[in-house]
């Protein structure tokens, strides 16, 4: 079954000091890595929830989407969330509400550069074996995104608020969750120091 991919990229990166998703990571903007990994699943569509840096990200699309398959069906859609300051949970709820269809939804963050296409493919295979469950990343003794939610679970995602995002729901509905070991999901970029330190890991 085709799924939709929802990439959360609405924050103002206050701890980073600029649009971190456009910072160069291994030769490409940071956000481009999430897009490229998602494309390997051949999703029905890739939707990016943008807010504080909506205009900059939209203008950077040619650099963000460099896949040779980018014109072969799956399109990139920017969703402008003007109330981004309300928190990640609100951004997630807003994004999912735009997906009024019967597709499952893969939720990703734009600043997890170590999450690979292979990680997402393993997650997708786990979900395909149990399509009525939520398949999510398991790392550092917790559950989190990336995660694939079946379509009927979208109503629960609509309820996310403030800082209560997908992780909160994964914990609340743990009996509906299939954890998939994904150590790479532990790392995200919050500060310039994070960026510098993690860049050393790819040299």
| Whether the predicted pLDDT of 201 surpasses 80 | no
pLDDT tens figures, 116-150? 999 999 999 999 999 999 999 999 999 999 999 99
SS3 56: helix
Q: What pLDDT score does 71 carry? A: 47
180 versus 16: the higher-pLDDT residue is 180
Q: What is the 8-class DSSP label of residue 202?
A: G
What single-letter DSSP state applies at residue 191?
Answer: S
Q: What are residue 139's DSSP bridge partners?
A: 142
Identify the CATH class of 4-202. Answer: alpha beta
User: Alpha-carbon distance 141 to 181, whole Å?
Assistant: 10
For the entire predicted model, the pTM comes to 0.92
| Buried-exposed string 43-55: b where 16+ CB fall within 10 A, e elsewhere | bbbbbbbbbbbbe
The pLDDT of residue 15 is above 80: no
Q: What is the CA radius of gyration of the chain?
A: 16
Q: Is-cis flag, bond preceding 185, omega within 30?
A: no
- Report, as an integer, the average pLDDT of 48-52: 95
């Amino acid at each position: 079954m085709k799924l939709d991919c929802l990439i959360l990229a609405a924050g103002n990166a206050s701890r980073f000091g600029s649009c971190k998703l456009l910072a160069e990571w291994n030769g490409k903007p940071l956000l481009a890595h999430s897009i490229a990994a998602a494309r390997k699943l051949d999703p029905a569509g890739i939707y990016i929830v943008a807010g504080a840096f909506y205009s900059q990200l939209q203008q950077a699309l040619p650099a963000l989407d460099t896949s040779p398959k980018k014109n072969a069906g799956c399109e990139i859609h920017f969703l402008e969330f003007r109330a981004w300051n309300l928190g990640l949970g609100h951004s997630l709820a807003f994004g999912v509400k735009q997906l009024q269809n019967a597709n499952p939804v893969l939720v990703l963050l734009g600043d997890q550069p170590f999450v690979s296409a292979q990680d997402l493919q393993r997650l997708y295979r786990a979900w395909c074996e149990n399509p009525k469950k939520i398949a999510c990343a398991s790392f550092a003794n917790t559950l989190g995104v990336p995660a694939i939610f079946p379509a009927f679970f979208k109503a629960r995602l609509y309820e996310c608020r403030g800082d209560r995002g997908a992780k909160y729901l994964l914990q609340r509905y743990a009996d509906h969750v299939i954890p998939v070991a994904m150590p790479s999901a532990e790392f995200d970029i919050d500060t310039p120091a994070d960026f510098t330190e993690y860049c050393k890991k790819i040299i």
